[in-house]
Chains A and B, each alone.
Chain A
Amino acid sequence: MSNPESAELLPFIVYFCAVVLLVATMLILSWLLGQRRQNKSTNMPFESGVLSVGSSQIRLSVEFYLIAIFFVIFDLETVFIFAWAIAFFELGWYGFFAILVFILVLTVALIYEWRSGALDWGVKTRTGIGES
Chain B
Amino acid sequence: MIPFLFYMAAAIALVSTVLALTRSNAAHALIYLIISLLAVAVVFFLLGAPFAAALEIVIYAGAIMVLFVFVIMMLNLGEEGDQRERGWLEPGVWIVPAILAAALMIETVAVISMTEGMTSGEMVSAKAVGIKLFGPYVLAVEIASMLLLAGLVGAYHVGRRLSERRRGGIS
Are A and B direct contacts in the complex by CB distance below 8 Å? yes
| Structural contact, A71 and B146, CB atoms closer than 8 A | no
At the interface, yes or no: B160 with Cβ under 8 Å from chain A? yes
- Say yes or no: B130 contacts A91, CB within 8 Å: yes
Interface flag for B97 (CB, 8 Å): no
Q: Is the CB of B144 within 8 A of A4?
A: no
Contact between A108 and B149 (Cβ–Cβ < 8 Å)? Answer: yes
Cβ of B159 and Cβ of A73 under 8 Å apart? no
Contact of A77 among B58, B126, B145, B160 (CB under 8 A): B145
- Pick the 7 closest A-B CB pairs, nearest first: A87-B130, A6-B1, A62-B163, A68-B70, A105-B145, A69-B155, A83-B130
Interface: A65 (CB within 8 A): yes
Q: Is the CB of A4 within 8 A of B130?
A: no
Partner of A91, one of B1, B71, B134, B156: B134
Shortest CB-to-CB span from A23 to chain B, Å, is 15
Could you say which residues of chain A place their CB within 8 Å of the CB of B78?
55, 57
Known: A76-B148, A90-B131. 13 other contacts (CB 8 A): A1-B125, A2-B48, A4-B50, A6-B5, A64-B74, A65-B70, A65-B71, A71-B66, A72-B63, A73-B152, A90-B127, A94-B134, A132-B171
Expressed in whole angstroms, the minimum distance between the Cβ of B167 and any Cβ of chain A is 6
What's the Cα separation between A109 and B144 when bound, in Å? 13
B46 at the interface (CB under 8 A from A): yes
Assess whether A66 is in contact with B156, with CB atoms less than 8 Å apart: yes
- Residues 146-167 of B contacting A (Cβ, < 8 Å): 146, 148-149, 151-153, 155-156, 159-160, 162-164, 166-167
Instruction: Give chain A's interface secondary structure class.
Output: helix
Nearest-neighbour CB distance to chain A for B2, whole angstroms, equals 5
Q: Which A residues touch B50, using CB under 8 A?
A: 4
Interface positions of A from 77 to 130, Cβ below 8 Å from B: 77, 79-80, 82-87, 90-91, 94-95, 98-99, 101-102, 105-106, 108-109, 112-113, 116, 118, 129-130
Once the chains are docked, how many angstroms separate the CA of A43 from the CA of B133? 56
Q: How many residues of A contact B (CB 8 A)?
A: 56
Query: Chain B's interface: helix, strand, loop or mixed, by majority?
Result: helix
Partner of A4, one of B48, B58, B167: B48
CB distance from B57 to the nearest CB of A (A): 11
CA gap between A63 and B167 in the complex, in Å: 12
A87 to B131, CA, bound (A): 6
A35 within 8 A of B: no
In the bound complex, CA of A130 to CA of B125 (Å): 51
Contact of B47 among A3, A94, A95 (CB under 8 A): A3
B121 at the interface (CB under 8 A from A): yes
Contacts of B123 in A (CB 8 A): 1-4
- Pair B46/A80 contact, Cβ less than 8 Å: no
Contacts of A66 in B (CB 8 A): 155-156, 159
- Most chain B beta-carbon contacts within 10 A, residue among A61, A71, A109: A109
